Structures are given as structure tokens and as C-alpha cells.
Amino acid sequence: MLLRLLRTLILTSLLLISFAPALNAQEVKVHTGTQDLTVFERESKMWLGEEIRCRLVTQNYYDVFDWLEGELREDGTLVLRGAVTRPALKASAERSVAGLVGVKTVVNEIEVLPVSPFDENLRRRIYKSVYNFNSPLFRYAVRAVPPIHIVVNKGRVTLKGTVATEMESRLAETYVRQVSGAFEVKNELRVEASDRSS
């Protein structure tokens, strides 16, 4: 127990030193299915979930226009999902988690978004709208990977990530809807306050 705690503290401090602006506890969600387990099994699965999350969010080229998440099943199968703008990110995400103890198989269902000048232009305009320096959401823009992710696929926009309040979630959606050209807008932002209460 002490050894595991020490290892976790060392790993956390190294990650905070190297990637402090990029890490957000809810940025990449990993479902570990920890019901009906002993305390040791539950803590092991939770540690593995945190390790998977850290490896995904620290990928090279992972940015505000990508989204990664995983589901760790009881049989040790890790299902990776999300959407990325670069094919290399899909492959490197799989490689980074494949060798972890407790992960037997990796199923990579990450979607590589099609190259589209229209989508690229829409991404940039939405980014400027959401993270404008006059916006209350600008405080998130100073992070290496801002927590509000803008996933654009064929003109359809999905907001992913975590914000502090419900008001910020609604505000982000409003800013996106003010940008012309989006065929559909989905707000899938999570709110930290509701995460803590559930």
C-alpha cells in the first residue's frame, strides 16, 4: 500500500512538472467498471484508469480539436473511442496504453476526422469565438490543452470536456451557435460541480 502510494505520488509529481497545463482530471474519461470489487481490486482499477487517462492526454499533437476516451472492461479489454484530426494520433494513443499491466487487449475505435478545408475553417472560427480574450472562458485558453474540446465533423460540432459551472457550459454553446456554418451543435460538456456530487 505504501509502495503504491509512493509510486503514485512520484508519477503525479512528474506529470505535474512536465504537463501541468495540459492535465485536467475530467479531460479524458475512462470507465473502469469498479462496482462489486474488493477494495484492492477497485483501487487497482482506479489507478489503471488514471494511468490510461494520463497517457492519452499527454499524446503528442493532442489538442483542443481532438477528443480521446476509453472504456476498460472486466475482461481487461480497453476500448478507445473519440475523434482526432491526425491519423498518427490514433495509432500513438493505442501504442501508449497497449503495454499497461491489466490491459489485455486494445480495441481502437478512434475516428480519424476527414480532411476538410470547410471543417478546418469552422474549427478556427469556433475556437476564436469560445476562447476570445473578452470571454469569461478565456481563462481556459491559457492551458496547453484547453478543457473545452471542439470536435468538428462534416460541419457538425460537438463540445467535449469539462467546465467549472453549468453557466460556462451554456456560454460555450452560445458562442458556438453564434458562428455561422455549423449544421448541428451538440453540447456534451461535463460540469465539475455535478461530477463531485454524483
What tens digit of pLDDT does each residue of 104-138 get? 999 999 999 999 999 999 999 999 999 999 999 99
pLDDT band of residue 49 (cuts 50, 70, 90) is confident
> Quick check: 67 pLDDT over 70?
yes
- The residue behind cell 472492461 is 73
Global pTM?
0.74
Task: Give the list of residues 6+ apart from residue 96 with CB closer than 8 angstroms, or none.
Answer: 55, 56, 59
> Quick check: 186 pLDDT over 80?
yes
Q: DSSP E strands: which ranges in the chain?
A: 30-31, 67-72, 77-84, 105-108, 111-112, 148-153, 156-163, 184-187, 190-191
The set of cell numbers assigned to 108 is 481502437
> Quick check: 34 pLDDT over 90?
no
pLDDT, position 16: 39
Cα 153–Cα 157–Cα 159 angle in degrees, nearest 5: 125
pLDDT, position 20: 35
The set of cell numbers assigned to 81 is 473511442
Task: Give the list of residues 6+ apart from residue 4 with CB closer than 8 angstroms, or none.
Answer: 43, 47
How is the chain split into domains, by residue range?
Answer: 22-112, 117-197
Q: Are 94 and 181 in contact (CB under 8 A)?
A: no
> Quick check: 10 pLDDT over 60?
no
| pLDDT one-digit tens code per residue, 146-159 | 999 999 999 999 99
The set of cell numbers assigned to 127 is 475556437
Q: Would strands 105-108 and 77-84 be described as parallel, antiparallel, or unpaired?
A: parallel
120 vs 1 pLDDT, higher one? 120
Distance CA 138, CA 170 (A): 15
Q: Across residues 41-54, what is the average pLDDT?
A: 81
φ, ψ (nearest 5 deg) of residue 170:
-65, -35
pLDDT, position 12: 47
CATH architecture of 117-197: 2-Layer Sandwich (3.30)
In the chain the first and final C-alpha atoms are separated, in Å, by 27
Percent pLDDT > 90 in the chain is 60
DSSP string, 98-127: HTSTT--EEEE-PEEPPP-HHHHHHHHHHH
